[in-house]
Structure 1
Amino acid sequence: MRTLIIWLLIAAAAWAGWRHFFAPDPTLTEPLAPIASPTPAANRVLPKPAQSFQCDGRQHCSQMRSCEEATFFIRNCPNTKMDGDHDGVPCESQWCG
């Protein structure tokens, strides 16, 4: 009878050891979070392409083609004459009014 109890204890210890060392890792068996489907291309908002303005000597509103261009010129180019009241808004009567 004593031998049977010893063998049962050895078997229980072996079984517990196996479960501890060889059981599947729960982080590998858990289901992954669902991946959100990508936004369809039709619903994406594309940024407006950057304007490629450059200082080329123009100074007056009559030489500009848009409010964005005039704003670029008064912020980045010297000697512009497009902001008469010096409020930072160029060509108010023509483009940016």
Structure 2
Amino acid sequence: MKKLLLIGLLGFGGWQYYSDNQTGTHSLPSISSFAPVTSKIQAAPQPSYTCDGREHCSQMRSYEEAVYFIRHCPNTKMDGDHDGIPCERQFGR
């Protein structure tokens, strides 16, 4: 993302320089004249779960942890009907 922004700024500056030279003025826009780009999208917090060999619902502390395990860890036995919802009886989903 930063590389794309830098390429865009350099391209704009080059175009501005070229167009100014065509009209007789010789100024480049300063980098400080551009407003900073801010993102309003926040990254989701990364879970602190790791595949540690747990396979069963009774070993899970939360629904989110069970979901992480069935999506990222091998040999889990928490989604008997294979609908993507683990531990339905334990967590009431």
TM-score by length of 2: 0.52
Alignment partner, residue 65 of structure 1: 61
In the alignment of these two chains, the number of paired residues is 70
Percent of aligned positions that are identical = 67
Cα deviation, residue 49, structure 1: 3.3
Contact 1:67/1:96, CA 8 A, preserved across alignment? no
Alignment partners' CA distance in 1, 2:91 and 2:49: 16
Cα deviation, residue 51, structure 1: 1.4
Match of 2:85 among 83, 89, 94: 89
Query: Which segments of 5 or more consecutive residues in structure 2 lack a partner in the other structure?
Result: 1-41
Cα deviation, residue 50, structure 1: 2.3
What SS does the aligned partner of 1:69 have?
helix
CA RMSD, 1 decimal = 3.4
Give the direction of change, closer, same or farther, for the CA distance of 1:47–1:71 in structure 2 (3 Å limit).
same
2:48 partner amino acid: S
Match of 2:49 among 53, 71, 75: 53
What SS does the aligned partner of 2:71 have?
helix
Alignment partners' CA distance in 2, 1:96 and 1:54: 24
TM-score by length of 1: 0.50
Post-superposition, which runs of at least 4 consecutive aligned residues in structure 1 deviate over 4 A?
none
After TM superposition, list the pairs within 5 Å mapping 1:1-97 onto structure 2. 49-95=45-91, 97=93
Query: Which segments of 5 or more consecutive residues in structure 1 lack a partner in the other structure?
Result: 1-45
Give the direction of change, closer, same or farther, for the CA distance of 1:93–1:75 in structure 2 (3 Å limit).
same
Contact 1:89/1:96, CA 8 A, preserved across alignment? no
